[in-house]
């Protein structure tokens, strides 16, 4: 029995990419201006959660781990997301802070790949962001012991009810919850082109603190 007996054949799925280019002559000297431009394009084009990014970490066995998280801030200082500090991802980051990020903006036939080092953001920054979250999401941060095994869904719902009873008004940020900032040392921009001759520009941080731009073969 083959998967293709029951599903569409992925080998037959093809799409040609046209309409956009990525040329050195139009590329800024640092990557954050281009990232901002592409991020704004993704937001304007109405894609689903343009701030979604795949976060890759390294597990204790040396194998890669991936999951989707949400970008909550970015600047020339790096890319920020928030999570439970007791989760598997946080433990992996604290042990091996080298991480990867992948933004897939498929409507625009674009990808951005980030390699960098993650570290925890200052507590006041976490608390300021946490205060902007919906009340239900704040309670969920207290209710979920992320990555721990659960006997069933009912036990999670019961933890949520206990959190709601404990915090009927303002909800403080849990001590085990906070942000990470990924400071990049390399950012690659990928633009789909016709006939699979895609554009790839890699920004790599130089020892001087600037950025070196190189075109890569597709």
Encode burial over 50-69: b for 16+ CB neighbours within 10 A, e otherwise: bbbbebbbbeeeeeeeeeeb
As annotated, the binding site for substrate includes: 14-17, 72, 129, 133, 137, 196-198
As annotated, the active-site residues are 196
Sign of CA dihedral 213, 35, 30, 119: negative
Closest by CA to 60, choosing from 96, 90, 101, 84, is: 96
Contacts of 190 (CB under 8 A, 6+ apart): 110, 111, 112, 113, 198, 199, 200
Backbone angles phi, psi at 169, to 5 degrees: -110, -125
The structure tokens listed for 96 are 């091996």
Instruction: Give me the DSSP letters along 46-99.
Output: T-S-TTEEEEEEE-TTS-EEEEEEE--EEETTEEEEEEETTSHHHHHHHH--EE
Task: Please check whether residue 206 is in contact with residue 196, taking contact to mean a CB–CB distance below 8 angstroms.
Answer: no
């Amino acid at each position: 029995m083959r998967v293709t007996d029951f599903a569409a054949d992925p080998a037959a799925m093809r799409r040609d990419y046209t309409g956009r280019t990525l040329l050195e002559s139009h590329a800024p000297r640092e990557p954050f201006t281009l990232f901002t431009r592409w991020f704004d394009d993704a937001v304007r084009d109405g894609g689903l959660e343009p701030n979604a990014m795949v976060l890759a970490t390294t597990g204790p066995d040396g194998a890669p781990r991936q999951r989707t998280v949400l970008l909550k801030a970015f600047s020339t200082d790096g890319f920020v997301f928030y999570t439970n500090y007791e989760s598997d991802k946080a433990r992996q980051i604290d042990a091996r802070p080298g991480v990867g990020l992948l933004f897939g903006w498929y409507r625009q036939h674009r990808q951005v790949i980030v390699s960098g080092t993650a570290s925890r953001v200052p507590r006041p920054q976490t608390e300021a962001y946490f205060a902007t979250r919906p009340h239900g999401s704040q309670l969920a941060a207290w209710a979920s012991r992320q990555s721990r095994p659960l006997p069933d869904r009912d036990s999670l719902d019961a933890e949520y009810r206990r959190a709601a009873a404990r915090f009927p008004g303002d909800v403080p940020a849990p001590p085990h919850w906070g942000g990470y900032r990924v400071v990049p040392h390399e950012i690659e921009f990928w633009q789909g082109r016709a006939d699979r001759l895609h554009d790839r520009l890699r920004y790599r941080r130089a020892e001087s603190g600037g950025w070196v731009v190189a075109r890569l073969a597709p």
